[in-house]
Structure 1
Amino acid sequence: MQVTETLNEGLKRAYQITIEGAELDAAVNAKLTEAQPEIEMKGFRKGKVPMALLKKQFGPRVMGEAMQETIDGAMQKHFEDSGDRPALQPEVKMTNEDWKEGDDVTVEMSYEALPEIPDVEFKDISLEKLVVKADDADVDEALKSLAETAQEFEDKDGAAEEGDQVVIDFAGKVDGELFDGGSAEDYPLVLGSNSFIPGFEDQLIGLKAGDEKAVEVKFPEEYGAENLAGKDAVFDCTVKAVKGAVAAELNDELAKKFGAEDLEALKGQVAERLESEYSGASRAVMKRGLLDALDAKVSFELPPSLVEAEAKQIAHQLWHEENPDVHDHNHGEIEATEEHAKLGERRVRLGLLLAELGRKNEIEVSDAEFTQAIMNQARQYPGQERQFFEFVQQNQQMQQQLRAPIFEDKVVDFIFELAEVSEKEVSKDDLQKAVEALEDE
């Protein structure tokens, strides 16, 4: 087998791999000899089928396997010897299309190599960590929100308003016929909760206890039940009661509803949660500062294919954000602009840098961390957690999507430990402005 370099420009590499016909033939014979003892064929005892007949019967298939294994072996040896790491899967194609058994096989392999990543002196990087303390006003505001979520409803006189709860009997009909799941008695519905079909709750505003109303609505086109999607419906409703919202009192009883021993303990839990939220926001701001510093500090050649793919991905993502009504990919080609390419270069540069830092420092995502990530994601699919777990187990791309952000955060935390970090105490509003500035960039 011979490997000849045909291109070496920047990060682009190309090689011609020649596998001698005799080498392939030997590989085929070795495979057939290994399988011969277990092969049965009419007219021959098990293991006694002549090699010539085996070669005629199974030769073409075994030749394909031997060819693929030999090429894969040659590629693996090349990468081990050269130290190259391809940015994407190498492109491999057979060049002598008129090949016949016994001829040498000539294959062309081309790829873009990952660049050499320069070392970085992290002590030269200065970062600012914004620190926000949860003051009494923040805690009181959070407790007030908790009380509102624990609100109760009491009977009231007069017409129903948005935010009130109406207790109703209703029976829904499509084309004059009742349909499954369209009727209920004594149903408590909070007006403005948007828990019913669009337009339903609005038509109950202004009604009083004892009132009746035929609510006319149209099921959305994307409604889950196909037999109802896009259909006009009429719900005959009777208002049994109208109730106004009453916020729960801030006392020990409320605290116990949220699992705390008393109100003071609940205040402590709320303050801890708020500071955890502030810490998460502060980390995001400091991470952006680190990435900006690394982007300005480190420069190296980038694989064009990775930059192009990233720029296209960015263009595609931004297009969908600007066209939220399009949920599929049945649209024309989206051209990446110079701005997309510039952002793509930054992402590729930082991605390669963080990946190399993680590799050199043996930073890995543990099984426990990966399992926790799956569990967190699975919670978004209540009742289908098992199916989600199985989907992830069978989908390598999904596994990578879950591992990537964990790995990146571990590398970022590693750099935080080495960089010069100073703390600055700021207000909640200042932190919020810093976070909003991230979103505007």
Structure 2
Amino acid sequence: MQVTEKSSEGLKRAFAVVLPAADIAARRQARLAEIGKDLRLPGFRPGKVPPKIVAQRYGQAVMGEVLERSLDDAARRIVTDRGLKPAVQPKVEIVNWSDGADLEFNLDVELLPEITIPDLAAIEVEKLTATPSEEEIAKRLEEIAKRHRNSEPVEETRPAVAGDLLVVDFTGRIDGRAFRGGSATDMEIEVGGAGFVPGFTGGLVGLAPGETREVTVSFPEAYPAEDLAGKTAVFEVTAKALRRALPPSIDDALATKHGFADLNAMREAIKGAIQREYDQLSRLRLKRALLDKLAEQARFPTPEAMVEAEFGAIWQRIEQDMKAGQLDEADRGKDEATLKAEYRGIAERRVRLGLLLSEIGRANNLTVSQEELKRAIIAEAQRYPGQERKVLEYYQQNPQAIERFRAPLFEEKVIDYVLALAKVSEKAVGPEDLMRDPEAAEA
């Protein structure tokens, strides 16, 4: 094999390679002989088919197989012999080949950069912390009580007013046709309340039991169901009963109803749930601050192919959001060129940080154990109450699917390792400050 380095620019290497015709022919003969050992054809004993007939029948298919394997083997040898570390699969392009001639091809390789790990102990980050207030706990309790409050019939005969509970049947139609999910019977709806298509509950004001009314609404452009987004629907609503919501009771009975010993136990459980939410948000903020610090010190070139692949995945999602009218508020009004430039920058940052985190993990022998993967799968199954067994069986039957957990687990492990070395100070803030977008705050 003759290998000539054509160019070396940045992370890119280009080689011109020539594989001798004799090597190709030898591989082809060896493969045909291998096939002939077990070949069965009418008129011949097993394994005794003449080589000429084997070549006539399988020569073309074998040649394609031999060429592919020869190219792969040659590319692997070049990479190994020169100690190269490809960032992505090397690109092979056949330049010249004909039966009986040398195989000439070009090999383009983009390498991983040399990465210097920064002084992790010198990194300084601030961890924001928050604790639930009595007002927040009381608000959560009130929300739970309101969702489970009782109601009573309205004895007087009168139209519904905002805040009443109206029991209705309704059917929604678009262009005269009923649509999936647009009908219900005996549904209790808070007149003027939230949770429905804008304008629907408000259109029930003044409707009395026994009456039927048409309520016209327009689904928002960003409505989750794409077949309904932006369309106008007419709902035929029949009122069947009028009820009055009773004031929510926040007492031991409410706590017992939800499986707690008393109201104090329920309050402590709510406090713990809110604290876990705050701790999770605190972790996200801390991780973001740490990644910003690492990005500042990650001064190495990024493989163009990796950036393009990352950008392609991001841009595909952006295009989908554009079509669905769900583009982020910050992106609306920007032209395509501006958006592409911004998201290409995001793609480059992700690739650079990914390479740095990978190198930190490799240099410090950080790995994801089978036990950690198992715990991640169990946690995933618990997200689907009642279907846990099916989820677990899916991953047992599809071991390759488990790999989707490895990368995020590895990243979190590296983040924990860096945080253990870095200088982390804590700052107590209110929940509002913890939830505020840092970029929005700076703006």
TM range (shorter): 0.7 to 0.9
Residues 1:179 and 1:148: Cα distance change in structure 2 (over 3 Å): closer
> Does structure 1 residue 416 correspond to structure 2 residue 416?
no
1:364 to 368, 375, 395: 368
How far off its partner does 1:212 sit? 0.9
Q: Which runs of 5+ in 1 are unaligned?
A: 328-332
Q: How does 1:116-135 map to 2 (within 5 A)?
A: 116-135=114-133
1:78-137: CA deviations, max 9, x gaps? 3333332322332211000xx222211112110211101112221111122122122323
Q: In structure 1, the residue corresponding to 2:337 is in which secondary structure?
A: coil
- Could you tell me whether the CA contact under 8 Å between 2:127 and 2:425 is conserved in 1? yes
Q: CA RMSD in A?
A: 4.1
- Could you tell me whether the CA contact under 8 Å between 1:363 and 1:411 is conserved in 2? no
Give the match for residue 74 of structure 2: 74
Task: Count the aligned residue pairs.
Answer: 427
2:337 to 320, 335, 338: 335
How far off its partner does 1:316 sit? 5.9
Q: Name the % identity.
A: 33
Give the match for residue 214 of structure 2: 215
- Could you tell me whether the CA contact under 8 Å between 2:251 and 2:263 is conserved in 1? yes
Q: In structure 2, the residue corresponding to 1:5 is in which secondary structure?
A: strand
Q: In structure 1, the residue corresponding to 2:80 is in which secondary structure?
A: helix
Q: Measure the CA separation in 2 of the matches of 1:38 and 1:439.
A: 73
> Does structure 1 residue 235 correspond to structure 2 residue 236?
yes
- Could you tell me whether the CA contact under 8 Å between 1:285 and 1:438 is conserved in 2? no
Residues 1:6 and 1:37: Cα distance change in structure 2 (over 3 Å): same
How high is the TM-score relative to the length of structure 1? 0.81
Give the match for residue 58 of structure 2: 58
Q: Measure the CA separation in 1 of the matches of 2:42 and 2:399.
A: 42
1:241-286: CA deviations, max 9, x gaps? 2123334311122112323222111111111111111111111111
* Amino acid of the structure 2 residue aligned with 1:255: A
Q: Measure the CA separation in 2 of the matches of 1:414 and 1:388.
A: 30
How high is the TM-score relative to the length of structure 2? 0.80
Q: Measure the CA separation in 1 of the matches of 2:402 and 2:305.
A: 23
* Amino acid of the structure 1 residue aligned with 2:28: V
Q: Measure the CA separation in 2 of the matches of 1:323 and 1:183.
A: 27
- Could you tell me whether the CA contact under 8 Å between 2:377 and 2:392 is conserved in 1? no
Q: In structure 2, the residue corresponding to 1:335 is in which secondary structure?
A: helix
Q: In structure 1, the residue corresponding to 2:4 is in which secondary structure?
A: strand
1:306-334: CA deviations, max 9, x gaps? 3345456556655665664279xxxxx94
- Could you tell me whether the CA contact under 8 Å between 1:142 and 1:270 is conserved in 2? yes
Q: Measure the CA separation in 2 of the matches of 1:216 and 1:135.
A: 42
Q: In structure 2, the residue corresponding to 1:242 is in which secondary structure?
A: strand
Give the match for residue 330 of structure 1: none
- Could you tell me whether the CA contact under 8 Å between 2:166 and 2:241 is conserved in 1? yes
Q: Which runs of 5+ in 2 are unaligned?
A: 328-334
> Does structure 1 residue 350 correspond to structure 2 residue 353?
yes
Q: How does 1:22-101 map to 2 (within 5 A)?
A: 22-96=22-96, 99-101=97-99
1:105 to 103, 106, 110: 103
Q: Measure the CA separation in 2 of the matches of 1:8 and 1:61.
A: 36
Residues 1:184 and 1:284: Cα distance change in structure 2 (over 3 Å): closer
How far off its partner does 1:421 sit? 1.5
How far off its partner does 1:291 sit? 1.2
